[in-house]
Amino acid sequence: MIDLDHNRAALASLPEDARLYLRPTGLGCTPVHDPAAVRRLAGGLVWFGLVHVIARVGRERRASVVVPVAEMEALLDSLPARLRGPAARQWANLLAPRPALDLGHGRQLPFDRPTVMGILNVTPDSFSDGGQHVDPAVAAESARAMMAAGASLIDIGAETTQPGAKPVWEGDEIERLRPVLERLADQPVPWSADTRKAAVMRFALAHGVSLINDVSALTYDPDAIRVVAESGAPVVLMHHQGDPQTMQVNPTYDDALLDVYDWLEARIDACTAAGIARDRILLDPGIGFGKSVRHNLEILNGLSLFHALGCPLLLGVSRKRFIAALSREEPATRRLPGSLAVAVLGAAQGVQMVRVHDVPETVQALKVWQGMQDAALMPPGV
């Protein structure tokens, strides 16, 4: 282990293979008292006053420097030429508002404040709600209820990808989806399809689905990336390590936060090269997918780093196992308080969308958080 260098001068003498990462910090600052001392994060409700500049060489962090936002341009100018361009792009990504997502049929999903994606699993074996929505009538009614409660999208999934799960044949997956999508075909329900398979994606997109949410980031099925590119639909690329059957056996990282960042950056490059526009890509760090509790916490505490990739962020933590590990080993159906805590933590780091089972409760929690953010932008006494 190399001791971290916390001096800015260290950034000017990094070796050729060094990489820089810019993580917004000093979150929660506002421009009320000193507008020059803060910047708005990705056009959302969060402001930041500092940037944590991390230098990585090989597998290890070499330097860790915290810089006030007012000094970032000068810092960028002082970097070696080979690092200046990538760092400047990250800085621009941190400041650029995320454009609204086109969901088709005249629907736009803005990203100037966090939104909620409701989970609808039409599976018999999902970890939290397996079997609750196998009846198409019940599933359709649940979708309507989530929309009425404030969900912006309903993410329908017909294959569980929880740890230990085996793949489902694509024909069975389609037949689980068909009756629910057909029941709501004439109603304004913006659908997302949670699937890894190209055939299921084609079916879903032909039956009113607006967005593809792939836990494999278009790596499971070799045809998936072409289907998404040709469709023009937006896509969520989620980080994972391994497959559902083995991913929790012994997940290993050199640096969980930076490894996930690098992996997602590579997937963005692969998808844009295949014809998927960057403004159609959302990113999910994949909490619980090939990660220990410690890995999850490292990623959650560093979430703001992923804004440097320039895409909206989706956070899926609802009822997940790490919540119970940090508490009293509660079953999935009793993890609502912990789920809300992490959803608000995500919003406070600028996450644009949270994927949840408990829509009304999460919508209320985020509205309260938003109200506090709005109030913080008003000078005292106003």
Q: 380 CB contacts (<8 Å, ≥6 apart)?
A: none
Residue entry with tokens 């959650």: 300
Bridging pattern class, strands 235-238 and 281-284 = parallel
> Which residue from 23, 12, 101 is spatially nearest to 261, judged by alpha carbons?
23
For the record, the structure tokens of 34 come out as 């000193």
Rounded CA-CA distance 153/113 in Å is 15
Which tokens in the block code for residue 226?
């072409």
The answer to whether the beta carbons of residues 336 and 358 sit under 8 Å apart is yes
**Nearest by Cα to 197 from 161, 222, 160, 178:** 222
Among 39, 197, 319, 320, which one carries the catalytic annotation? 320
Token pair of 156 as six digits: 């329908």
The residue from 176, 196, 280, 355 that is catalytic is 355
Contact status, residue 37 vs residue 29, Cβ threshold 8 Å = yes
Contacting residues for 365 by C-beta, under 8 A, at least 6 apart: 340, 343, 344
Residue (of 111, 115, 113) closest to 102 by Cα position: 111
Residue 294 appears among annotated catalytic residues:
no
DSSP 320-356: -HHHHHTTT---GGG-HHHHHHHHHHHHHTT-SEEEE
Q: What is the C-alpha to C-alpha distance for residues 22 and 11, in angstroms, rounded to an integer? A: 13
Active site residue 320: yes
Helix (H, G, I), strand (E, B) or coil at 157: strand
Angle at 220 between CA 215 and CA 221, to 5 degrees: 125
Closest by Cα among 177, 169, 194 to 136 = 177
Exposed/middle/buried for residue 89 (C-beta within 10 Å: 0-12, 13-18, 19+): middle
Active site residues: 320, 355
